[in-house]
Amino acid sequence: MGFIIIPIVMASIALVYFPALFITGNNDVMNQFPYLFGLVFFIAGTLSWFIGNKLPKKEQHLFDENGNKVIIKNTHSFFFIEVKYFIIVFYLIGLYQLLKGLF
């Protein structure tokens, strides 16, 4: 269920690349302005936080053979990290790209 991360990153790239392409008219805008790549990850982190908080969390209460109650939780995670906590990962990558682009 955590494969929502890939569309979040793709949407973030589209939100940064296409307006920058329209403004500059240059197809090589990401190499010309390297700090824009950091902006992509800041937007992706923010989107992952909001989308991760809005995703439904379901719990199923089942009983095993012995009559013990078992709770199955549906979590939205990608590599054992919940989608809403990818804000930290994306912000760190964005900060690195921003500093790399500026200096």
Q: Quick one: tokens of 30?
A: 């990401």
Which residue range forms the structural domain that includes residue 16? 2-75+84-102
CA distances from 46 to 31, 61, 63, 90, 103 (A): 23, 33, 39, 9, 25
* Mean pLDDT for the chain overall: 77
Into how many domains does the chain fold?
Answer: 1
Check residue 49 and report its DSSP letter. Answer: H
Q: Band of the pLDDT at 13, cuts 50, 70, 90?
A: confident
pLDDT confidence of residue 47: 83
Measure the CA–CA gap between 97 and 31, rounded to whole angstroms: 12
Residues, the chain: 103
**Paired strand residues for 86:** none
pLDDT tens per residue, range 74-103: 766 667 777 777 788 888 888 888 888 777
